[in-house]
Amino acid sequence: MEDHFSAIRQYAEAYERLEHLQRAQNALLPIGDQKTGVIAEFYARIYAQTQFPASELIFGTPSEHIWDIKVRTAGQPDHLIQVKCVSAHSRTSRVSQIHPGWHELYLLRLNNQFWPIGFWTMKAADAVWSTTKLGGSTMPRPGLTASGSAVFSSAKDQLEHMLAAVTARRANNSFKPNLLRSSKSVA
């Protein structure tokens, strides 16, 4: 598992260099990234594993918009988690569209080293807007209760629990191999 954290640190350094090149006058690289979401799902999985220890966790594919992690527990309906993330590199803190159909929403803010500095969760049952597609929303900021879009005002701050889960997994390298890719991604 230390390979994962090492790769994230190396990616953060390369990302920082690319950000400078992207923001330069007459830049040759377009602005944008794709790996931030992958890193967020890595952290989200660690947290979800502590919340659903007896369940199978399944990653969605890039074409799966409703959920990023499916929690499968014997004898129960699947629990669908949608993960949204921004990093310190985001100038607007806008999250990608939130698609209806999820049961739980994870909101994750990463620093410029791609380490969690903000983490909130919401249940669809607590969000009257959860049955509609939502675009243009902004991620809350840690310690600023009125920050982010109003639709996230009922989100619960779970950063302490996220960091405890990540630290524990990293310390004892107890990363369960129960996370599968969606069968849609199998060729």
CA nearest to 148, candidates 84, 88, 87, 93: 93
Give the neighbor-by-neighbor strand order of the sheet with 156-157.
156-157, 116-123, 104-110, 79-87, 69-72, 56-59, 179-181
Residue 31: the pLDDT is: 66
pLDDT at 175 over 90: no
Which class is domain 35-181? alpha beta
**pLDDT confidence of residue 187:** 29
Q: What is the pLDDT of residue 37?
A: 86
- pLDDT tops 80 at residue 28: no
pLDDT category at 1 given cuts 50, 70, 90 is: confident
pLDDT in tens, 68-86: 999 999 999 999 999 999 9
Tens digit of each residue's pLDDT (9 = 90 or more) over 136-173: 999 999 988 789 999 999 999 999 999 999 999 888 76
Residue 24's pLDDT is what?
A: 81
Give the pLDDT mean for 77-98.
95
Question: What is the C-alpha to C-alpha distance for residues 8 and 6, in angstroms, rounded to an integer?
Answer: 5
Domain extents for the chain?
A: 35-181
pLDDT the model gives residue 33: 60
SS3 182: coil
- Is pLDDT larger for residue 25 or for residue 133? 133
What is the pLDDT of the chain when averaged over all its residues? 87
pLDDT band at 62; cut points 50, 70, 90? confident
